[in-house]
């Protein structure tokens, strides 16, 4: 679609081409893939390089939260197997500099492209940097889920970034089963949808502890599912506005797992013909990826027969993130997932759970690459979005935890209900191998972050050596077992059963904020929890709860919540004056502000309970680690509070007499302030995100003591919580410590 360079070329461009091509050639001689370096060099010389270099005539971009790498590589293989000359960026560059590097390697010194077709993976956030200068013929979007919160925020934000930068000239190939991504770029008339029909393993409702689609994306109303394939992917309709899935152009009508085939009906074609294709190792994710690749291949002109023949010849989903071997009668399987991605991790854990026989699971989820830096810390809120509850399956006989965030993960596993007798926490990959009790199971699975492959190899090689020498096969070979040192939950409060109202729980599950309610439920098993969802009359409207909790949400959901709560604004203010305890975390305090103003000049009037104006700029991302001092009462000994802040906003306001904590590390309402959040009577509004309560046992004990009128509070899994706190507090006080992006 784009054959010529745009923009005016000058000496900088020609110098950039010469130097970057020389760099690409040099890296090739060194047997390095040159994934991004040529583009980095070109941009340093010519900042407008992407607008100057020529583009292939036909460009396909493959994007989406999960599956884009697999689908892109599979599509490239299909096309290459059918003699389509093309270029790709599978060498490792799905951001702007990677796209530029691909164009550089395919261009002559003048910048003219030698091959006319490019099929490339494109990172979702890179839409705003690439698509203003590159107009693809086709964009395939596999799905949109929550991803690394520190970088990608939430699916609503990613949706808006992608949607506003897609050219109306581009054909979109979208997943009709994903009610988030299927709505992308409504300005585009050329749209092709693909869908899986009902499958035997479908569930009646979305899967997972934190769903990305708990409400209608159009009106915020209740979604009713007919069936669900994977997480929130499935068929549903809104009970309020009637919004539902679009009609697919390609529909999988049958899956034969024994024959390794799936059948596709091409609904848009006359007579609705059907074609059968072969798949390799079955999983629902493999099926989606393979299906999406075949749809793009069809839209590019390959015949069903040609695609089927390629698949018969062995073109199929690669096992780059799955490796299996058998040693001494023991099955050893390594299963990778995208780091800080709760969906990918949950799917991996569910896959392990569904495998036959008894199993041992080694968790290596902390990013080893980030851990290499003494002043980087990884955001652990995503643990509270991931379904570690799958590890309670009776067939999972042992769970070994390794990595720099092991203490945090151990607490999350206890909250998930994993038997402490099954748990081991170790420091090194080799110790993880030594901790495995081979008498418990014949299958060992490593669930790991994609950057931890080298550590998995160290652990697996160590275990293979043990198996081959017959060492450690007796029960008791494991080390560092975690004892059952804490009750499952604290006793009921002396004053009875406190009532805790959770406002909009279907929204307040971003960034691990749901961990706060999860921990309260564990600490107060006899409390009454009232969940006020979209459309409900709040409990506090006519009653007096002991605690009101609201957690962070997407920016769009903020507007919905403000309007839903506006009729009850005066009642909320009355309860604040009366001293009802309230905890608003993440960006939930912004609902209480006087206004939210964005960089485009839009102003949203808030509830006005705190004297603050929120300045939002979604082109900026503000990250901070937090260590601060909280004063429970005048003259009382202060409590230390730790945590993280990740936001699009800075806040203007005076909280000098009403702050939550005074920071010794990090910043407060804005980067010039050391006073964080607001405290009005017993209302605490803090921009600290994620599992604030699990991370801060002293503060949590104070809060629970206040709402239960008890001086003696025993927290759930207190030893684990305190061990995680001690480690986290020491780490965040390291000079120069910052949150890894």
Mark which of 312, 330, 352 sits at the end of a domain.
312
Residue 99 domain-assigned (yes or no): no
531: β partners: 502
Could you tell me if 536 and 442 lie in one domain? no
pLDDT score for 577: 97
264-266-271 Cα angle (round to 5): 120
Could you tell me if 443 and 543 lie in one domain? no
Q: What CATH number is given to the structural domain containing 594? A: 3.40.50.880
Residue 435 domain-assigned (yes or no): yes
**Model pTM?**
0.91
Residue 96 domain-assigned (yes or no): no
Number of domains in the chain: 3
**How does pLDDT run across 345-380, given as a tens digit for each residue?**
999 999 999 999 999 999 999 988 888 888 999 999
Residue 626 domain-assigned (yes or no): yes
711 CB-near residues (< 8 Å, 6+ apart):
705
Could you tell me if 292 and 326 lie in one domain? no
Q: In terms of pLDDT, which residue wins out, 31 or 177? A: 177
Integer Cα distance of 23 and 15 in angstroms:
12
Q: How many CB atoms lie within 10 A of CB 35?
A: 19
Percentage of the residues of the chain whose pLDDT score is greater than 70: 94
Could you tell me if 533 and 617 lie in one domain? yes
Once rounded to an integer, what is the mean pLDDT over residues 137-154? 92
**How does pLDDT run across 182-195, given as a tens digit for each residue?**
999 999 999 999 99
The parent domain of residue 241 ranges over 60-89+113-312
**How does pLDDT run across 103-126, given as a tens digit for each residue?**
998 899 898 999 999 999 999 999
320-324-327 Cα angle (round to 5): 150
Once rounded to an integer, what is the mean pLDDT over residues 54-79? 94
Q: What are phi and psi of 58, to 5 degrees?
A: -115, 120
Once rounded to an integer, what is the mean pLDDT over residues 215-228? 89
Integer Cα distance of 392 and 388 in angstroms:
8
Once rounded to an integer, what is the mean pLDDT over residues 565-586? 97
Could you tell me if 720 and 579 lie in one domain? yes
Residue 136 domain-assigned (yes or no): yes
Could you tell me if 327 and 305 lie in one domain? no
Integer Cα distance of 313 and 40 in angstroms:
38
**How does pLDDT run across 10-65, given as a tens digit for each residue?**
889 999 889 988 888 887 776 666 678 888 999 999 999 999 999 999 999 999 99
Confidence label for 222 from pLDDT (cuts 50, 70 and 90): confident
Mark which of 312, 343, 361 sits at the end of a domain.
312
Could you tell me if 725 and 598 lie in one domain? yes
Res 319 pLDDT > 70: no
pLDDT score for 493: 39
Res 643 pLDDT > 80: yes
Once rounded to an integer, what is the mean pLDDT over residues 443-456? 93
Integer Cα distance of 500 and 549 in angstroms:
7
Could you tell me if 559 and 588 lie in one domain? yes
């Amino acid at each position: 679609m784009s054959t010529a360079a745009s923009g005016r070329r000058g000496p900088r461009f020609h110098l950039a081409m010469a130097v970057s091509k020389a760099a690409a050639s040099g890296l090739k001689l060194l047997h390095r893939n040159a994934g991004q370096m040529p583009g980095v060099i070109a941009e340093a010389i010519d900042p407008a390089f992407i607008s100057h270099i020529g583009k292939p005539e036909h460009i396909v971009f493959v994007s989406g939260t999960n599956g884009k790498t697999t689908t892109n590589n599979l599509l490239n293989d299909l096309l290459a197997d059918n003699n389509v000359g093309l270029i790709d960026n599978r060498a490792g560059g799905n951001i702007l500099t990677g796209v530029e590097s691909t164009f550089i390697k395919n261009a002559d010194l003048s910048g003219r492209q030698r091959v006319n077709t490019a099929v490339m993976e494109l990172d979702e956030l890179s839409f705003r940097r690439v698509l203003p200068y590159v107009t693809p013929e086709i964009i395939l979007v596999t799905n949109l889920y929550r991803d690394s919160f520190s970088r990608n925020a939430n699916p609503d934000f990613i949706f808006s970034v992608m949607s506003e930068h897609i050219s109306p000239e581009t054909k979109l190939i979208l997943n009709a089963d994903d009610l988030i991504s299927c709505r992308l770029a409504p300005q585009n008339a050329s749209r092709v949808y693909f869908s899986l029909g009902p499958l035997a393993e479908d569930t009646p409702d979305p899967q997972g502890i934190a769903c990305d689609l708990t409400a209608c994306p159009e009106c915020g109303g209740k979604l009713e599912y007919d069936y669900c394939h994977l997480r929130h992917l499935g068929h549903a309709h809104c009970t309020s506005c009637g919004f539902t899935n679009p009609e697919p152009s390609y529909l999988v009508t049958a899956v034969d797992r024994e024959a390794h085939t799936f059948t596709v009906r091409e609904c848009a074609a006359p007579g609705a013909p059907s074609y059968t294709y072969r798949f390799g190792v079955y999983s629902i994710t493999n099926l989606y990826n393979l299906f999406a690749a075949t749809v793009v291949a069809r839209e590019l002109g390959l015949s069903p027969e040609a695609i089927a023949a390629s698949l018969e010849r062995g073109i199929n989903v690669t096992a780059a993130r799955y490796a299996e071997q058998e040693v001494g009668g023991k099955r050893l399987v390594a299963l990778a997932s995208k780091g800080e991605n709760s969906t990918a991790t949950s799917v991996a854990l569910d896959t392990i759970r569904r495998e036959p026989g008894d199993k041992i699971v080694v968790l290596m989820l902390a990013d080893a690459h980030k851990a290499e830096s003494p002043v980087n810390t990884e955001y652990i809120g995503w643990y509270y979005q991931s379904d570690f509850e799958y590890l309670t399956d009776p067939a999972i006989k042992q769970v070994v935890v390794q990595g720099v965030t092991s203490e945090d993960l151990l607490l999350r596993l206890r909250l998930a209900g994993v038997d402490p007798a099954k748990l081991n926490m170790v420091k090194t990959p080799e110790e993880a191998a030594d901790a495995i009790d081979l008498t418990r199971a014949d299958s060992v699975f490593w669930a790991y972050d994609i950057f931890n492959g080298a550590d998995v190899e160290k652990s697996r090689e160590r275990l293979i050596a043990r198996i081959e020498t017959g060492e450690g096969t007796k029960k008791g070979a494991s080390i560092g077992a975690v004892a059952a040192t804490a009750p499952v939950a604290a006793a009921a409060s002396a004053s009875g059963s406190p009532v805790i109202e959770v406002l909009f729980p279907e929204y307040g599950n971003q960034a691990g904020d749901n961990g706060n309610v999860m921990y309260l439920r564990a600490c107060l098993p006899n409390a009454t929890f009232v969940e006020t969802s979209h459309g409900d009359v709040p409990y506090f409207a006519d009653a007096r709860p002991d605690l009101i909790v609201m957690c962070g949400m997407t920016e769009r959901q903020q507007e919905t919540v403000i309007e839903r709560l506006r009729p009850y604004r005066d009642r909320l203010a009355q309860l604040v004056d009366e001293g009802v305890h309230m905890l608003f975390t993440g960006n939930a305090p912004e609902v209480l502000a006087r206004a939210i103003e964005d960089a485009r000049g839009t102003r949203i009037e808030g509830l006005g309970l705190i004297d603050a104006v929120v300045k939002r700029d979604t082109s900026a991302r503000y990250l901070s680690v937090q260590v601060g001092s909280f004063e429970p009462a005048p003259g009382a000994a202060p409590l230390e509070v730790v945590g993280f802040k990740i936001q699009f906003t800075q806040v203007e306001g005076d909280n000098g007499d009403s702050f939550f904590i005074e920071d010794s590390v990090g910043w407060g309402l804005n980067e010039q302030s050391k006073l964080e959040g607001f405290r009005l009577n017993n209302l605490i509004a803090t921009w600290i995100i994620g599992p604030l309560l699990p991370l801060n046992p002293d503060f949590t004990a104070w809060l629970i003591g206040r709402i239960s009128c008890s001086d003696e509070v025993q927290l759930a899994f207190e030893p684990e919580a305190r061990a995680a706190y001690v480690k986290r507090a020491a780490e965040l006080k390291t000079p120069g410590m910052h949150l890894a992006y």
